[in-house]
Structure formats: C-alpha cells, structure tokens
Amino acid sequence: MIECAITINGERTMFSTSLKINPNVWNAAKQRVKGKTQETQIINASLQAIHNKLYEKALKLTPKGLFITANLLRHAHFNWKNF
C-alpha cells in the first residue's frame, strides 16, 4: 500500500492512497513506481493527481489567511471541515 506523507514546518501526517504495489518496484528517490506497464502508468498518474490536488488546496487556503499545517492540508484534501 502506498502512503502519502505531508510534511510542513516539521509537522508530518500521513494517509493511505489505497494504491497497492510490489515494494521492489518503488523508486524512493522519484516517489514513483518503476516500469512502463499500463498499471505502472495508471498508478503514477494517480500519484501525480494526488500531488496536484494537495498543491491546489494549499494555494486555495493561503488567501484565506489560514496557517497551513500538514493536518489542515490533509483535511482539505478529503474535504473535511468544509474546505
């Protein structure tokens, strides 16, 4: 199972992406799955989509004057607390 870790100013939180892979094909440096198979491309695209959504949520929270923390961003990602 691939876990997503968010770290902001030393605060870290994690959540499950629900994506499953063989640990032997994980590229830790790139934070992506190694290979060219269709399954690999789908998983890597899903990981990129999660990354993009987190980035977009952070951009939307900044003008609201909120101090962005790892937990706040995780909550916003899942639309908890009406973010």
pLDDT digits (tens, 9 = 90+) for 60-75: 988 888 889 999 999 9
pLDDT in tens, 3-17: 999 999 999 999 999
Give the residue-averaged pLDDT of 17-33: 95
Domain segments of the chain: what residues? 3-82
Mean pLDDT of the chain, nearest integer: 93
pLDDT band at 82 (very low <50, low <70, confident <90, very high): low
Q: What's the pTM? A: 0.87
Q: What angle do CA 13, 17, 65 make, to 5 degrees?
A: 45
